[in-house]
């Protein structure tokens, strides 16, 4: 099964996706309503499951949508809203609700998840820049600027990796 086959299967079963994200959103709203500082130690793993349940499909949808738009040059108007955009929107909504009611630093594993998002974003940015530039011959800045850009990118990736494997 290829990624395209998976996306086609999800396009054929849009109500399952919609039901999944509505269930996550309702569960997040209920959790936000009942959580307090006294009972958070019991509910922090439920919050973690909700965050991961929203972020994993949201990150996947973000990667596929960015790939289709920036690299494959697909027309975003012809993409299925439920498969490509709904997971991103629900991920943002759920993270905002959780962050407003519960601090994201108190959710177990969110530091690694945010580092994973950062590394994926930076890797995609590097891929996009390399794909768009003729890297061997033309560089608008000098060699020093290239070294500075490399050093900055290296330290950002190193910081993100250290947060991921911590």
Tell me, what's the pLDDT at 143?
53
Q: What is the full DSSP assignment across 49-90?
A: HHHHHHHHHHHHHHHHHHIIIIIS---GGGS-HHHHTHHHHH
Q: The pTM is what? A: 0.76
pLDDT top residue among 160 and 91: 91
CA–CA dist 70, 92 (Å, integer): 21
| Boundaries of every domain in the chain | 3-165
pLDDT top residue among 137 and 32: 32
pLDDT in tens, 17-67: 999 999 999 999 999 999 887 888 888 889 999 999 999 999 989 988 988
Buried b (16+ CB within 10 A) or exposed e, 76-106: eeebeebbbebbbebbebbbebbeebbeeee
Phi, psi of 116 (to 5 degrees): -65, -40
pLDDT at 128 over 80: no
pLDDT top residue among 73 and 127: 73
Element (H, E) at 25: helix 14-34
pLDDT in tens, 82-101: 999 999 999 999 999 998 88
User: Other C-beta atoms within 10 Å of 39: how many?
Assistant: 10
């Amino acid at each position: 099964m290829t990624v395209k086959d998976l996306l086609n299967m999800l396009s054929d079963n849009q109500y399952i996706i919609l039901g999944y994200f509505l269930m996550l959103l309702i569960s997040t709203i209920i959790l936000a309503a009942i959580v307090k500082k006294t009972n958070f130690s019991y509910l922090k793993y439920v919050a973690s499951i909700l965050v991961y349940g929203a972020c994993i499909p949201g990150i996947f949808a973000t990667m596929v949508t960015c790939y289709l738009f920036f690299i494959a040059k697909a027309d975003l108007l012809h993409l299925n809203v439920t498969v490509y955009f709904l997971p991103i929107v629900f991920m943002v909504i759920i993270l905002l609700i959780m962050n407003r009611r519960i601090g994201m630093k108190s959710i177990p594993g969110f530091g690694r998840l945010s580092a994973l998002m950062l590394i994926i974003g930076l890797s995609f940015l590097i891929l996009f820049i390399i794909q768009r530039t003729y890297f061997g011959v033309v560089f608008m800045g000098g060699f020093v600027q290239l070294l500075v850009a490399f050093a900055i990118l290296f330290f950002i990736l190193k910081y993100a990796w250290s947060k991921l494997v911590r």
